[in-house]
Amino acid sequence: TKRVRAHHLLAAKERGERWAMLTSYDQYTAALFDQAGIPVLLVGDSAANNVFGYETTLPVTVDELLPLVRAVTKATQRALVVGDLPFGSYEESPTQALRTAVRFLKEGGCHAVKLEGGKRSAAAIEAITNAGIPVMAHIGFTPQSEHQLGGYRVQGRGDAAQSIVDDAIAVAEAGAFSVVLEMVPGEVAKKITHDLAIPTIGIGAGVDCDAQVLVWQDMAGLRQGAAPRFVKRYADLAGTLTAAAQSFAEEVRDGAFPAAEHTF
């Protein structure tokens, strides 16, 4: 099997073919999603919430993410694996950004990195790209700046649309191979997708993006409770796992498990 590369995603855009990206943080989901034909897997800093149980993405560190990146990369044969640079690991200078990106490729084994920010991150994107590392950008609502942005809110409504468009142009000119558009009005995402040569990957950005991404635990219904409007649940893993745990416990209590065939 041939590894998916940035040029395949560009070619898909030229053919008008949409594709899906999922997060993954472990070997089993990585292997399953790879076999399911998901071409790009993101080891998101959303591991902060979805693996480590933090309230926000801010606390997660490079040292916490790298083992997950390694697990996902090792478990895939075809998917392009993107490692997400966590808060504090790239904002100081393009030099710091490049140093962190290099760690992700050397120690994590991933094929590309992602970082948040438009114009403000253009110099970092350029430095990493110039070192031969593909960069996925992320604009619109950027969770690492949630305190500055005033919580989870749609970005680029009304007069603010132009600044999102400017961010998109800035990351593309800096050399990004793709860009995540998070919580951006559908019409703004449509314009950006039309204007840029590189693929746009929407999350809460409407159907006109070149690709869509969801956090896998949201997509598969493992995470319980209220989900953002942009989430669609394609399975009920929370229900399935709860029922399995309850059946196991019940069979242990009543002596149905282990049976003769499970016994040496």
Question: Which are the catalytic amino acids?
Answer: 182
208 is in an annotated binding site: no
**What is residue 162's three-state secondary structure?**
helix
In b/e form, how buried is each residue of 203-224, taking b as 16+ CB within 10 angstroms?
Answer: bbbbebbbbbbbbbbbbbbbbe
From 39-47, 162-170, 226-234, 235-243, give the range in contact with Na ion by CB under 5 A. Answer: 39-47
Give the whole-angstrom CA distance, residue 39 versus residue 22: 9
In the bound state, the residue with its beta carbon closest to ligand KIV is 44
Give the whole-angstrom CA distance, residue 99 versus residue 235: 39
Question: Which of 24, 46, 76, 155 contacts ligand KIV by CB under 6 A?
Answer: 46
Number of chain positions touching ligand KIV (CB under 6 A): 11
Q: Does 218 bind Na ion (CB under 5 A)?
A: no
Question: Shortest gap between Cβ of 148 and Na ion (angstroms)?
Answer: 16
Closest CA to 44 of 92, 113, 93, 122: 113
Torsion of CA 160, 113, 200, 155, to 10 degrees: -20
Q: Kind of pairing, strands 135-140 and 40-43? A: unpaired
Binders of ligand KIV among residues 58 to 117 (CB under 6 A) are 84
55 is in an annotated binding site: no
The sign one gets for the Cα dihedral 87, 89, 95, 99 is negative
Question: Which of 180, 188, 211, 219 contacts ligand KIV by CB under 6 A?
Answer: 180
Binders of Na ion among residues 62 to 121 (CB under 5 A) are 84
From 37-45, 103-111, 146-154, 204-212, give the range in contact with ligand KIV by CB under 6 A. Answer: 37-45
CB-CB contact of 199 with 174 (8 Å): no
Contacting positions for ligand KIV (CB under 6 A): 23, 42, 44-46, 84, 138, 180, 203, 213, 215
Contacting positions for Na ion (CB under 5 A): 44-45, 84
- Known binding-site residues equal 45-46, 84, 114, 116
- Known binding-site residues for Mg(2+) equal 45, 84, 116
